[in-house]
Amino acid sequence: MSHGVPRVGGEGEGGVASSQDKIKARIKAYKELEKDVTDRIKNEDYSNTTFQLTSTLLSQNPEYYTIWNHRRLLLQHVFAREFSTSSPDNPTAEGTLSTSDDHADTTAAQKAGLSPSQHEISLLISEDLSSLLPLLKQYPKCYWIWNHRSWLLTKATTHLPAASAIKFWQGELALVGKMLALDSRNFHGWGYRRTVVEAIERLGDISMAEKEFEYTTKMIKTNLSNFSAWHYRSQLIPRLLNERNARREARAKFLDGEFELITSALYTDPYDQSLWFYHQFLMATLDTTNPQAGIILSPCTNSDRKMYLEQEVTSVREMLDGAEDCKYIYQALLEYARRWRDLGGEVEKTDMKEWLGELRKLDPLREGRWRDLEKVLGLEVV
């Protein structure tokens, strides 16, 4: 699957022969390396050399999932060996995968409450995590690299005391923060962040909801148009308020604050989809037909709902001034008007007809959808 790779024209006349030789040589080297690694694993050669060879092969082809499996097989073997043989007078055999056996290290390990084998395992994991960083930066969308990191981290969790394991997860949180600063939409990055946060919460028996909420605030302040950060924020809020044991008053204040934040952002750029996404989320928390949104205001009566709908329709209508060609505004108006009506409110049909008319003009691609909406709203010309 190639994404975003430009199609190239034919090679220059003179270069064809020599570049074909080069390609042949590269294929040969690659196939030899592949065979070498595969044979070694078949022969259960779990040496440092084999480990290094998997690194070389993976740096040429990080999508080669079987080689990642080989690498884990090898590490697993080394971990098991550590536990079965490790004792002060049983040094690691020549050529096997191990880290420096510095005695100062060992003392530090004892202080941290690690046995010598746990110490060795922790060093191996930490080395593998850092040696894979350049590859991750080069291929931030490669499943298998993220996958391998999370495997290493689960091994740390299994083999090490919680206090040591949590340090690894905290390191990953810092890393994923950096990765998301580079690409705020990286799907793998956000998924990894969820896994990391869950692990820290579990190991440390703490909640990260407040901290993560602050993180989304920071991300949004850096760039308002940060869709994934708005999404993450929407996921955190219901839990955050529950953990705060927030009463109705606090919840109402919170909701008002969020409306203020998003409304001022929308006034700045009503054409930004990520902002509308969040506005829709806030409105959806007030919509009884949409349980997936979670709850902010509680208890919440129909008159509360109508109050917010009225407030938001008024404010969204004002956004039209200077942005008459912004289809998201008409979409929001029609959607909120529909909910207003479902709650027994009156809506001027002429207003709705006008909004729908604008929408059709601005967005002819989705004409079928607007036609269905017209029916649902009962605006058809009879």
At residue 372, the 3 state secondary structure works out as: helix
Could you count the other beta carbons within 10 Å of the beta carbon of residue 337? 19
What DSSP letter does each residue of 182-236 carry, written as one string? H-TT-HHHHHHHHHHHHHHHHHHT---HHHHHHHHHHHHHH-S--HHHHHHHHHH
Q: Say which residue the tokens 């649902």 belong to.
A: 376
DSSP-assigned states of every residue in 63-108? T-HHHHHHHHHHHHHHHHHHHHH--TTSPPPTTBS-----HHHHHH
Name the residue nearer to other proteins (CB basis): 9 or 344.
9
When asked if residue 64 is in the footprint of other proteins (CB under 8 A), the reply is yes
The token duo for 118 is 């746990």
Point out which span in 60-68, 112-120, 122-130, 131-139 binds other proteins (CB under 8 A).
Answer: 60-68
Site membership for other proteins, residue 141 (CB under 8 A): no
Question: Binding segment for other proteins among 90-98, 117-125, 220-228, 261-269 (CB under 8 A)?
Answer: 220-228
Q: Which is nearer to other proteins, 65 or 83 (CB)?
A: 65
Q: What's the closest the beta carbon of residue 106 comes to other proteins, in angstroms?
A: 31
* Cα(315)–Cα(260) distance, integer angstroms: 11
Helix (H, G, I), strand (E, B) or coil at 47: strand
Q: Does 357 bind other proteins (CB under 8 A)?
A: no
Q: Is 231 near other proteins (CB under 8 A)?
A: yes
242 binds other proteins (CB under 8 A): no
Instruction: Work out which of 36, 48, 72, 259 binds other proteins, going by CB under 8 A.
Output: 72
Q: Quick check: 169 binds other proteins (CB under 8 A)?
A: no
CB 351 within 8 A of CB 334: no
Query: Out of 277, 323, 341, 353, which residue is the one contacting other proteins (CB under 8 A)?
Result: 277
CA 15 to chain centre: 44
Contacts of 77 (CB under 8 A, 6+ apart): 44, 46
Pattern 280-309, other proteins, x by CB under 8 A: xx--x----xx-xxx---------------
Residue 215 phi, psi (nearest 5): -60, -45
364 contributes a contact to other proteins by CB under 8 A: yes
Helix, strand or coil, per DSSP, at residue 268: helix
Q: Which of 66, 90, 131, 217 binds other proteins (CB under 8 A)?
A: 66
CB of 204 to other proteins, least distance (A): 19
Task: Report the alpha-carbon distance of residue 24 to residue 39 in Å, rounded.
Answer: 22
| Interface contacts to other proteins, rule CB under 8 A | 1-11, 20, 23-24, 26-27, 30-31, 38, 60-61, 63-66, 69, 72, 143, 147, 150-151, 154, 185, 187, 190-191, 194, 225, 227-228, 231-232, 234-235, 273-274, 277, 280-281, 284, 289-290, 292-294, 363-369, 372, 376
